[in-house]
Structure 1
Amino acid sequence: KELPFLRKEILELIGESEREIASMGPPVSSAATAKIKYFECILKLKSLLTDLLDGNYSFDYISKYKADFENKARVDLTSEGDNSDSDNDSGVGDDRDDDFAPLPLDGDHRFIRASLHGLYQNYNQAMNRDKFMLPKEKISELVLRYKGSELPGFVSFTAFKHIYIETLVPWSDLTKVHINNMHRYLYKVVTNFIESTAEPLLKDMLLLEFDKFYNSQSAKIDDVIKDIFTDEGTPFTMN
């Protein structure tokens, strides 16, 4: 008595599967054909992504998005001006902790080079703030402590070494934050690109593979930054 009901459910499941297969596009005739189609999709995606990251935009692309991008930049500058006014009123000044706040990630992935340039400018301005430099009083104290028989206007190597190494600490921290912000921005750019451009059947796989690649590369770059600043603190490099 239950068989007719089971048969109905089975036929419905088969129908759903057939509709899902049909929606995937034309079937491939063999594994070799599937492999060729896969590489064609990947090469096309790679070419488009390379153009995007290199800034090789068409005139149509620029005319389509430039107005929005400029308007957004104008709004960001206005808000920055408002923030600086409020900081000056409150007496906070250069002691703000948002020097490395990343650019808004939503909607900024269309003009990559301009956005990365904005991040770099943010980093460059922060590196020149007084709060990220060794205080003058500390420098004077180190110079006096290690003063030898140097000519006027010169400092001992020991004093210079202490000044330099103590300055390296905030610089290395700020550089790590800056690189991390650029990582986050580019991660958003590439994931948005894959989600909007990749073939539906490949999208999830590509996002997963890119996530693995991103994490491994981020770890490598962090190690390189650490090695660079370690090397910067050696007497040989300072000489």
Structure 2
Amino acid sequence: MAQDRSPLDRCNTALNESDVVGLRVNWPGRTVRLLLHVLALPAYGPVDPDTRRALVFTGVSLVRVLLRADRTFSRDYGNAIDLADADAADVFLASVGWSNPMYGWSFLNDPQLTEDWPERLSLVLDSGGPPAAHTLYWFCECGREEPGGDGAYCIEGDIRFDRLEVERADGTVIPLTSFAADGERWWEAFRTGDPRVSGEAQQSQPPSPAWT
């Protein structure tokens, strides 16, 4: 059964300025894990030092990925670069040397976000059955050192799914309402000048553990 839309809508704020670092697809099981680093502030105490969160999608009917080179480092994108399979997308994300977080405040159930995509994509996995109820759009503007110099890219994708759960890196499930609230709380603290999320506090915070 598909999830109600309203808890999902609240997750848009929690996903803003999150970093996409991995895409793990179990296509026979119609399950996708999107690995992120997020901005999260608990109800009490300091910012969570472990920013790793996995979005776990089940009942997936469609996965699409579009990888393109940014030819002038100014969103001047080339043609789609073929990816052999979903593992290749994950390997690419692991290979980048720098990346920018997602922005835009809208990622779930917003079909206009992919309206400008070219007809030919890098990877499409389609179950061939009825479309699932919801969509998530993700992207990562990134780059890496290559033999000819630094290369810049944009990799983006969408996932059509029936249900979403959020997990910490150790597999602990976080209720969607808690995930959304932690993100909303971080942005409210930022807007109101809370010292826990000040520029100085962010710079002094040790790096989060990395995904493996």
Which TM-score bucket, shorter chain as reference?
Answer: under 0.3
Q: Which has the higher contact order (CA 8 A, sep 6+)?
A: 2
User: Normalized per residue, which structure has more strand?
Assistant: 2
Higher helix share: 1
Q: With structure 2 as the length reference, what TM-score do the two structures score?
A: 0.23
Q: TM-score, normalised by structure 1?
A: 0.21
